[in-house]
Amino acid sequence: MLPTSTTTPPTPRKVAMASAVGATIEWYDFFLYGTAAGLVFDKLFFNGLDGAAAQFAAFGTFAVGFLARPVGGLIFGHFGDRIGRKQMLLMTLLIMGLGTALIGLLPSYDAIGVWAPILLVVLRILQGIGVGGEYGGAVLLAVEYAPAERRGFFGSFAHIGVPGGLFLAAASFSIASQLPDDAFLAWGWRVCFLVSIVLLAIGAWIRLSVMETPAFQQVQERKEVAAVPFKELVASQPRALLLGMGTRFIEGFTFNLFSVYFLAYVVTNLELPKSWALDGIMVGALLGVGLVIATGALSDRLGRKPVYRFGTWMALLFAFPAAALLQSENRWAIFATFVIGLGVLYGIVYGPLASYWSELFDTRYRYSALSSLYQISGIVASGFTPLIAAWLVVRGDGSLWLVAGYNVVVAVISLVCARLLPETQGRDLDEPWVAVPKREKELARV
């Protein structure tokens, strides 16, 4: 019998763990696709194309998932602010789990022709809609239960789903890749996707044991539920939304550059063993889990902005060294690049953002705000990163120097946006930040 909500409220730690486990499972599903896009899909679903064209097509379907994510974010954000966080999280988990499992059963291009890539795109869209609604709910489940002085720490548990899901995805593919190449392409990669059914059952069991968040319950009790949450968000806090999207740029770019494009670059462009990259991704992702929690906790002491800006500066300074290390074609240099990128850089940048973004917005439309911020900006910040990087490499005659330059530009944009946002540490969740025009500030001082 499945557990149901009890009258005793769960502790912030229990809720944070439920958020972390559920998010890890959903991101595992989503990141499986990115790993497969770099290693498998160009060979099985786009094998009618040659070389770079097949890789572009595979990365194009990867980007489709990010185009679908804002749709999921708007849908589930709306009902998450109207009905509640918990119900939406159960629905997104179901959509993600079934969509991922069906990819594992999908016939190849050789079997059903053009229907193979078409169905692949449809299932990728389902994945995008599911994860689009997942992010805001998972974060708010942890943040809105947490005490104000530990919001950074508990909120960061929702963010370990990203490196945690990546670790599981990379580990499953690393195990499957031990098979002979023919067996791996025939059925080995499919097992990684079919495991999602088991993870779906585990995630649903855990999330059914958690109650609705206290912050949303208060909004319901005061009868202040927003009629159209996204409309109120845009009317009340447009600047916070746009600047928040800017701070998302370096986070999404860093993750997808290292976990998706650099993986494909090592295997396809450098023609080196995929284990060289996968080992680094696994260690980096595991390190990232710890650093996300550590930097989330650190933001409770130092503030959200100092921790985030430090990580962004590190990402900027590592851009050209990362390109040089990969192009050295040295196994340990490649390993170190993935560990630093996904473990150190990503862990520091991502850790404080759950609490930082949540504290910017009003509870009445916070689910819509986080979903919109994360998913709309993710189209460019995340979804197009592999495509842009692949194009820049072609323009750069096979080198990564143009990609490194793009990395610097992205980091600068995020640093400027963070500069224009306030510090939110300790802010009451019922007191969102609304920028005051300079003229009004001057009049207030008179």
Domain annotation covers residue 263: yes
Q: Which two tokens stand for residue 438?
A: 């300079």
What span, in angstroms and rounded, lies between the C-alpha atoms of 428 and 291?
26
Across the chain, mean pLDDT equals 85
Domain annotation covers residue 445: no
pLDDT at position 51 is: 61
Domain range for 224 is 12-437
Domain annotation covers residue 1: no
49 SS3 class: coil
Write out pLDDT tens, residues 103-147. Answer: 889 898 888 888 888 888 888 888 888 888 888 888 888 888 888
58 SS3 class: helix
Domain annotation covers residue 3: no
pLDDT at position 48 is: 63
What span, in angstroms and rounded, lies between the C-alpha atoms of 326 and 435?
43
Domain annotation covers residue 446: no
Does residue 326 contact residue 257 with C-beta atoms inside 8 Å? no
Residues 6+ apart with CB under 8 A from 260: 34, 35, 37, 38, 59, 62, 385, 386
Radius of gyration of the chain (CA): 21
What span, in angstroms and rounded, lies between the C-alpha atoms of 211 and 86?
7
Q: Which residue has the tokens 């940048």?
A: 349
Domain annotation covers residue 5: no
The CATH number covering residue 289 comes to: 1.20.1250.20
203 SS3 class: helix
pLDDT at position 343 is: 92
- When divided into structural domains, the chain yields a total of 1
Q: Which residue ranges of the chain lie beneath pLDDT 70?
A: 1-9, 47-52, 55, 431-432, 434-446
What span, in angstroms and rounded, lies between the C-alpha atoms of 183 and 378?
35
What span, in angstroms and rounded, lies between the C-alpha atoms of 383 and 393?
17
Of 400, 411, 40, the C-alpha closest to 193 is 40
Domain annotation covers residue 328: yes
